[in-house]
């Protein structure tokens, strides 16, 4: 059992959200199948047709608000509430980690429930009570310009502050848990190497449906559905406070 002094950093990806029924959005899905994701998730696409992009995001917001955190999200919350120093770095834009109760969640690719004014950069959030049935382009209450989803699109760079924070955190990490991500996208694909360079004794565990390019460098890769494998691993490896 790992002591409560163990510093844990977690990287989560679309596999964790998929177990809650949220599609990956790496490709388009459902109603949006006929579109190419490059026509919906780039700054160029938004400049060309903001209404179309917003319709796609309203659809996605609707899916995310109906989804519920699964056992993998809850296991992370239990680790944190048991007293471990735990930080989640997620590639997911949904808020399922927060809704499960995790308090230190950093969104590498932005957050779908936030919007940013394209002119004055004011940041606001959607209300959770919202129904997302509108197809209007939302407007800034400060300057009346249009708002965009506060997510990182293709052809955009990640927030340098979050990257800096992640690097520092990875260097002092004892245990790195990589959950539900078969394709770590640049620069996140460097994170495991940064953690390893920072700590010779780093233990790295990967949870995924299939082997990935990272599997050869992990302490152990555990294959299977993450909502099952991850909670099992947590209860065997860490001291979990009884609820």
Min. distance of Cβ 142 from Zn ion in angstroms? 5
56 vs 29: CA distance, rounded Å? 10
DSSP string, 88-130: EEES--S-HHHHHT-S-EEETTEEEEEEEETTT--EEE--TT-
Helices (H) and strands (E) counted in the chain, each on its own, are: 8, 9
Min separation Cβ 150 and Zn ion, Å: 13
Q: How far is the CB of 229 from Zn ion (least distance, A)?
A: 45
223 near Zn ion, rule: CB under 5 A: no
Could you list the active site residues?
109
d(CA 95, CA 105): 9
The count of chain residues that interact with Zn ion, using the rule CB under 5 A, is: 8
Instruction: Give me the least distance between CB of 147 and Zn ion, in Å please.
Output: 8
> x-or-dash pattern for Zn ion, window 72-111, by CB under 5 A?
----------------------------------------
Half-sphere exposure in the Cβ direction for 143 (13 Å, CA): 11
Site string for Zn ion, 120-159 (x = CB under 5 A): x-x-----------------x-xx-x--------------
Q: Which of 40, 117, 151, 152 binds Zn ion (CB under 5 A)?
A: 117
Whether the CB-CB separation of 51 and 135 falls below 8 Å is answered with yes
Considering beta carbons, is residue 117 or 178 the nearer one to Zn ion?
117
Spatial separation of the C-alpha atoms in residues 138 and 150, rounded to whole Å: 13
Q: Which residues bind Zn ion (CB under 5 A)?
A: 117, 119-120, 122, 140, 142-143, 145
């Amino acid at each position: 059992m790992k002591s409560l002094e163990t510093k844990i950093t977690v990287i989560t990806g679309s596999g964790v959200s998929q177990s809650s029924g949220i599609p990956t959005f790496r490709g388009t899905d459902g109603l949006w199948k006929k579109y190419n994701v490059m026509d919906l998730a780039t700054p160029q696409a938004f400049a060309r047709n903001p209404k179309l992009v917003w319709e796609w995001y309203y659809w996605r917001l609707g899916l995310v608000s109906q989804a519920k955190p699964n056992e993998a999200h809850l296991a992370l919350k239990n680790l944190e509430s048991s007293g471990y120093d735990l930080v989640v770095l997620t590639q997911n834009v949904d808020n399922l980690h927060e809704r499960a109760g995790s308090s230190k969640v950093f969104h590498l690719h932005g957050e779908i429930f936030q919007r940013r004014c394209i002119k004055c950069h004011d940041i606001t959030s959607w209300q959770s009570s919202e129904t997302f049935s509108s197809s209007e382009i939302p407007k800034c209450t400060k300057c009346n310009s249009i708002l965009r989803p506060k997510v990182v699109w293709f052809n955009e760079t990640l927030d340098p502050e979050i990257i800096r924070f992640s690097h520092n955190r990875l260097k002092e990490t004892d245990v790195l848990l990589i959950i539900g991500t078969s394709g770590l996208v640049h620069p996140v694909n460097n994170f495991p190497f940064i953690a390893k360079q920072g700590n010779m004794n780093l233990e790295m565990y990967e949870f995924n449906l299939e082997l990935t390019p990272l599997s050869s460098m992990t302490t152990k890769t555990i294959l299977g559905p993450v909502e099952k494998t991850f909670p099992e691993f947590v209860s065997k490896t860490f001291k979990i406070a009884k609820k």
